[in-house]
Amino acid sequence: MQIIPEEKIRQRVRELGKKISADYAGKQPTILILTNGGIFFGVDLLRELKNIPARIECVRVSSYKSGTRSSGNPEIFGTLEPDDFAGRDILIIDDIIDTGRTLKRIRDQVENFGAKSVRTCAFLDKPARREVNFYADYTGYEIDDVFVVGYGLDYAGNFRELPFVGKIC
Ligand code: IMP
Ligand code: MG
């Protein structure tokens, strides 16, 4: 069942792009996209940035093995090079915030690399599920505690390609 149709996604991404472009005016931020889920939103958002010469980095993070509950221990696959982050303005992008552990862990790590500034952006936020004290600087939509798929979000690796966000009934 659809909960956020394609047009609403596009509209919100455009708004976020405007806001982020204004906030980063005159800067050259590094956009760190958390894959696999953050790819769709990350790329769409990058295309909505106006006059921002952004650099891009990606890192793969996984906290769900195959079910609908977080393992509570996000695993980072691959390495982040401290030199890519030290002294730079970093914007970390993910698809959704659930317990908050994934974005918090990556943000803390990037801060430890000596980034000049670190902000976070997630398309969706499920505040009812939070287990750590974490709030993103930018979010698209807040949703209830339901498991969603589409627009990058998967269930056991499936449904990422759906152009809308839907819930599994
Ligand atoms: P957190 O570390 O618990 O905040 O989990 C965030 C990660 O869990 C996201 O990057 C997603 O990969 C995954 N996730 C959380 N909720 C959902 C959902 O409803 N559908 C699909 N993936 C989800
Ligand atoms: Mg993820």
11-69 pLDDT tens trace: 999 999 999 999 999 999 999 999 999 999 999 999 999 999 999 999 999 886 666 77
User: Which pLDDT band holds residue 70 (cuts at 50, 70, 90)?
Assistant: confident
Which among 94, 95, 98, 125 is annotated as catalytic? 98
* Residue ranges with CB less than 5 Å from ion ligand 2: 37
User: Which pLDDT band holds residue 75 (cuts at 50, 70, 90)?
Assistant: confident
What distance in Å separates the CA atoms of residue 51 and residue 49, rounded to the nearest whole number?
Answer: 7
- The model's pTM is 0.96
Ligand 1 atom closest to the CA of 153, numbered from 1: 21
Strands of 148-149's sheet, edge to edge?
Answer: 2-4, 165-167, 148-149
Is 83 an active-site residue?
no
Report the percent of the chain where pLDDT is more than 70: 98
Atom 15 in ligand 1: which residue has the minimum CA distance? 98
The pLDDT, as a whole number, for residue 42 is 98
CA angle, residues 54, 57, 61, in degrees to nearest 5? 140
The pLDDT, as a whole number, for residue 59 is 97
The pLDDT, as a whole number, for residue 51 is 95
What distance in Å separates the CA atoms of residue 42 and residue 91, rounded to the nearest whole number?
Answer: 10
Ligand 1 atom closest to the CA of 155, numbered from 1: 21
Task: Taking the CA atoms of 129, 35, 20 and 31 in sequence, report the sign of the dihedral they define.
Answer: positive
